[in-house]
Structure 1
Amino acid sequence: MNAPDESTQRWSLRMWNEIESVYSAILTHPFSSGLTDGTLDPQVFAHYVAQDVHYLRDYARALAVVGAKAPTLADTAMFSRHAADVFEVELSLHEVLLPELGLDPAGLARVPVAPTTRAYTSYLLATVYSGSFADGLAAVLPCYWIYARMGQELIARGSSEARYQRWIDSYGGEEFAATVAQVVELADRTGPTLTPQQDAEARAHFLTTSRYEWMFFDAAHRLEQWPV
């Protein structure tokens, strides 16, 4: 059977096919393997969680902007709910993890935003504010989708470390998968409405933020700090 050409493929699948190598690199990164075999340095995980709190605060803002540009009121409401979920669900998970990792939630503002975190969030916010709805949607989608796929993969492996298992469970569960499916479905409604140039620009944003996802895990693994 012949593979479907680009004109018949779902837009989301076309984008995902372009980042398969990036996703594979995330799964094989020592950060990911360390989560499941329990060998990840707790200091590395603490660095990741602290940076993720900084990241999610700007990601919630990005979702709100994408929602404001959404084509229907239902789509706007969906992104509004997701932005609220970042605060209510993911940051509440961090409130549990931070004390376990020796981090003070109240003092998190004193933890510097690392270079990769700053670069990633700056790119996201610039894209959603200055770009089209499709640009913003493509830019925020990798964070949804990569974490869901990663969670499903890692939950099958499990972890010997309770803190890491809690993190894996939060992204590998059915509820988060259902949330991501809503956004993927919206992407598939959006793709066919784009001109070739708009399509190329949006897909470039999807690839860029997917690369930033790998960089975010790698930066945590390196305990990245500002060099000067």
Structure 2
Amino acid sequence: MESISLVARKQCDALWQQSFRHPLVQGIKNGTLPLEQFRFYIKQDAYYVREFAKLHGMAAAQSDDADVVATLLKIGLGLAEGELQLHQKLFQTLEISEQEWKTFRPAPVAYGYISHLYHVVSKGSLGHSLAALMPCPWLYYEIGLQLKDARPKEPIYREWITEYSGEGIEKNMEIERALWDETSRSASDEERREMIHIFMQSSDYEYHFWEMAANLKDWPTYGKGENAYGQKSTVH
């Protein structure tokens, strides 16, 4: 029987190809992406990574194996320290102030993606949790491989490519992939189908994350001091 990760990857290939070809990804590669779109993306991604790190702590609590617990906590800590340091550096370059970040609210797709992850992880099954969490590092690793030789003129895009084509993301991805395969080895056919479905849901959110940033898709009238009904907002 093929490993669950390999089956899931094959079933999601068409969707992942859309991410590889997405104008935002190609714009980073070629250095042609408008900085306004990248700026919007980085704020959403910083929110995502912060929550993604915490979700690894929740997933770690689902195992009684000390090695598994330590592995997931280490990955979560690495995310919190590594990628968030990158985001902080990019925040400075993009002139995203502390006040702007303090008042930031995630856009619908980013909020929906994280809500999806919390929903799955809250159910308490490590195999299902890893199915939900895996597409992010795995997809970014493959994007990093495709972009690693690119030399866009915009320095901020070169930094982003360097981060996601490094050895660290590959190592963590392979560790989590092996853990998912091992955890799911004794799963029933129905459980495997459910996990693959969850993997596909997360993969779909990954694609729409690019779409969100490319189209600057935020809440209606968000940030204009009015709600969707044209009234002044009193919510802070």
* TM score, norm. by length of structure 1: 0.93
* Structure with higher helix content: 1
- Match for 1:102: what amino acid? E
Confirm whether residue 50 of structure 1 aligns to residue 50 of structure 2. no
Unpaired segments ≥5 residues, structure 2: 221-227, 229-236
Residue 3 of structure 1 corresponds to none
Residues 23-79 of structure 1 show CA distances to partners (whole Å, capped at 9, x for unaligned) of 100011100110011110101000000011111121112111111113521111111
Using the alignment, how far apart are the partners of 2:135 and 2:97 within structure 1? 29
Residues 75-122 of structure 1 show CA distances to partners (whole Å, capped at 9, x for unaligned) of 111110111112110000011101111211453021221000110000
Confirm whether residue 177 of structure 1 aligns to residue 170 of structure 2. yes
Using the alignment, how far apart are the partners of 1:106 and 1:71 within structure 2? 41
- Match for 2:52: what amino acid? Y
Q: Within 5 A, what are the aligned runs for 1:76-225?
A: 76-225=69-218
TM superposition outliers: structure 1 runs of 4+ over 4 Å: none
Unpaired segments ≥5 residues, structure 1: 1-6
Q: 1:190 to 1:97 in 2, by over 3 A?
A: same
* Equivalent residues of 1:36, 1:160 under 8 A apart: no
* Equivalent residues of 1:99, 1:105 under 8 A apart: no
| CA displacement at 1:131 relative to structure 2 | 4.4
| CA displacement at 1:156 relative to structure 2 | 2.8
RMSD: 1.2
* Equivalent residues of 1:38, 1:160 under 8 A apart: yes
Residues 141-187 of structure 1 show CA distances to partners (whole Å, capped at 9, x for unaligned) of 00110011111111133322210111111111112211111111112
* TM score, norm. by length of structure 2: 0.90
Residue 4 of structure 1 corresponds to none
Using the alignment, how far apart are the partners of 1:198 and 1:115 within structure 2? 29
Using the alignment, how far apart are the partners of 1:194 and 1:144 within structure 2? 23
- Match for 1:186: what amino acid? L
Residue 64 of structure 1 corresponds to 57
Q: 1:160 to 1:71 in 2, by over 3 A?
A: farther
SS of structure 2 residue aligned to 1:124: helix
Q: 1:92 to 1:206 in 2, by over 3 A?
A: same
Using the alignment, how far apart are the partners of 1:138 and 1:59 within structure 2? 13
Greater Rg by CA: 2
Using the alignment, how far apart are the partners of 1:158 and 1:17 within structure 2? 30
- Out of 11, 17, 38, the position equivalent to 1:18 is 11
